[in-house]
Amino acid sequence: MKYRVQSIGKVFSDKAIKDLEDKLNRAHEKGYRFHSVMEVVQPGCAFFGTPAITYLAVFEQVDPGAPPLN
């Protein structure tokens, strides 16, 4: 089994939720199944500045011939 990870950001307005829904549907159409979401901290630029929290969506590659998500 293979996994793919995509950044989904951290701001979830109504439009962002709809965009996430569309992203999940497109991934499914390409042969991927949503697995989970992880919260991660990304360091600031060149390790200076404020670290940012973001979220990553993890997908399982269901179809072995599935194209990349990006």
For 33-67, the pLDDT digits (tens) are 999 999 998 787 766 778 888 899 999 998 888 88
Q: Are 6 and 56 in contact (CB under 8 A)?
A: yes
Q: Are strands 2-9 and 52-61 parallel, antiparallel or unpaired?
A: antiparallel
Cα three-residue angle 43-34-21, rounded to 5 degrees: 85
Half-sphere exposure of 63 (CA within 13 A, CB side): 11
Calpha distance 53→70 (Å, rounded): 22
Between 44 and 5, the higher pLDDT residue: 5
Residue 3 clears pLDDT 80, i.e. is over it: yes
pLDDT (0 to 100) of residue 47:
64
**Tokens of residue 57, six digits:** 């969506």
pLDDT (0 to 100) of residue 38:
92
pTM, to two decimals: 0.72
